[in-house]
Amino acid sequence: MKNLKRQWKFIVVLIAGAVGLISQFALHSKSLFSIGNLQFPVHAIIIDIIGILMAISYYWKTGRYGVDILAVIAVVSTILIGDVWAEWMILVMMTGGETLEDYATGQANKELRALLDKTPRIANKLVDGKITEVKVDDLQVGDTVLIKPGQQVPVDGQIVKGTSSFDQSSLTGESVPVTKNPGDDLMSGSVNGDVAVEMKVTKAAKDSEYQSIVALVKSSQAQPAKFVKMADRYAIPFTVISLIIGGVAWAVSGDATRFAEVMVVASPCPLLIAAPVALVSGMSSMSAHHIIVKSGPTLEKLARAKTFAFDKTGTLTENQLIVDQVVTDDKSFDQKELQSLAASVEQQSSHVIASSLVKATDKDLIHPVTNLKETTAQGVEGDVDGKHVKVGKLSFVAPGHEKLNVTSTAVYVSVDGKFAGYITLKDKMRPESPKTIERLRRQGAEDIMMLTGDHKQVAEKVAKEAGITDVRSELLPSQKIQAIKDVPKHLRPVVMTGDGVNDAPSLTAADVGIAMGAKGATAASESADAVIMVNDISKVNDAVAISKHTMKVANIDVLTAIGVVIIIELIAFTGVIPAFWGAILQEVVDMITISLGLLAKTKPSDKQFGLEEK
């Protein structure tokens, strides 16, 4: 509604001007710009009323006392000296600048829509052994719920019957599904694997993990970081200089009109329009690089960002496991043969570890398997080339070897009842991740950290490969938010990049949230300030480079406009520029401002892209 009101202000001002021109032309066709006694009341009073209302709106309602002060003074001055057309011209540029800025920040507040759409709403409640569909909000602590294969856990609970694996990656960042047994806790929002389980409700919907994430997004959104717009930073010295010039002109001439003439020239139209034009151009450039930016201030913050935080799974990594090591414990088998036997047995399993192992193995090494048998949540076994092979958990494959300490994600293998070795897997690093981190440092990043819910050992390995030294692991969504809030003031703004549901609150809490949206991470995308539409994390570098270039252009644009306006003010000081022509000269300055602002669409330098050594 706020954006709509701003557009209506611009439309009303244009209509008032059109009414004035039509009435003036009809009554005084010989002189289009003359102001007669009959014409003046028709539209001049209307424009004065609009001017007074807008002056009040700017001064009392916006809460901004920078660039708006000059706008108020310019409007009031033209009202006092009765120069209606100069007043109208100022109102056009004031409301036009607002409308253009709204266009640059035109994305509506949709941050919670996708997250709320995915919130579990229906649950399968078990009553006397019968399934009854009920609303999730109606579940009570102590109720028993059936979680079918592939279903989302509706509320937090505890397994009372059945064993299955659960995908918690969107909540905790763990890249591998977690096996849950009777007595283990389940988080709402996690997705069940292949086996139905029964769960006892331990928390009502409003207190459960997934719903708490929604609440965290709302809370973070309700407390946005304070941010001073670029135009307001320049407005104070510009206002002081302009008031001094106008005041001295009044004092020297003894004529208040002279003050008004200087104030009309000093109208902050270039300040109001310079940044929005540059930001619109910068946002257009972002789109050309497959980055969608939702608001103009995002570019301002990105250009000054000092701290960058990254999620691990699906952000720095591809959320795909690859074989890391093949370790043999039996001299009868080499690494190639051990992997061949394990992949052959796993080829019919749908488990993420099994499919990753098969995908990483040469097809010629995968042989037919017979007598295949799967033990739920433990592993699989079968006969391959006359050998009985078991693959899975250590306790299933080789009881008695539990003291073996392997910190990575691993599958263990036995052949004919004898422990043969194990295969470790790791998250596949995005090939561009290390280079992205290196370039961010060249672009001025003072701190780069990883925030993940995954295990410490896994997180540290990925961080080392990516070139990140500040690693925070095993974090819940609320702890990610706290890590962002704890960043000291001198290391802000903070940019957070992520992709999962668990990243939505931290993306909202950061000064700038960037979502990897190429694979449909909608909840994260809706909570972010910018969305990378291709599966390439190096676009973060592009976003920073374009933002720096855009703000450089915008700053040059504003300073140029201020310099030109001050020169015109000094000329108006002499009294040779009437108020109306001063407003026209303002339009000339505005055209210069717009032309300079469009340069933000040009390509940033290699240094801004982080391609040059510092």
Cβ-based burial of 371 (10 A; exposed 0-12, middle 13-18, buried ≥19): exposed
CB-based contacts of 14: which residues, under 8 Å, 6+ apart?
92
Let me know: does 6 contact 51? Beta carbons within 8 Å.
Answer: no
Residue whose pair of structure tokens reads 């690093």 in the numeric block: 429
178-180: strand order across its sheet: 178-180, 164-167, 191-192
Q: Which residues on neighbouring strands pair with residue 322, listed in sequence order?
A: 426
Torsion angle defined by CA atoms of residues 184, 186, 191 and 196, in that order, rounded to the nearest 10 degrees: 50
Radius of gyration, CA atoms only, the chain = 33
Of 48, 167, 311, 427, catalytic: 311
Residue burial 106-131, b: 16+ Cβ < 10 Å; e: rest = eeeeebbebbeebbbeebbbbeeeee
For residue 14, give the DSSP letter: H
Phi, psi of 334, deg, nearest 5:
-95, 175
For residue 295, give the DSSP letter: -
Let me know: does 93 contact 267? Beta carbons within 8 Å.
Answer: yes
For 157-216, the DSSP string reads: EEEEE--EEEE-HHHH--SS-EEE-TT-EE-TT-EE-SS-EEEEE-S-GGGSHHHHHHHH
The two structure tokens encoding residue 433 = 């991740």
CA–CA separation, 202 vs 213, rounded Å?
17
Cβ-based burial of 59 (10 A; exposed 0-12, middle 13-18, buried ≥19): middle
| CA-wise closest residue to 454 among 609, 301, 321 | 321
In the residue annotation, 590 being an active-site residue is answered as no
CA–CA separation, 601 vs 540, rounded Å?
18
> How many CB atoms within 10 Å of residue 21?
15
Phi, psi of 287, deg, nearest 5:
-60, -40
CA atoms 186, 188, 190, 192: torsion sign: positive
CA atoms 545, 547, 553, 555: torsion sign: negative
Give me the helices (H) in 421-521, please: 433-442, 456-466, 477-485, 504-509
CA–CA separation, 558 vs 230, rounded Å?
9
Let me know: does 367 contact 344? Beta carbons within 8 Å.
Answer: yes
CB-based contacts of 251: which residues, under 8 Å, 6+ apart?
none
Active-site residue set: 311
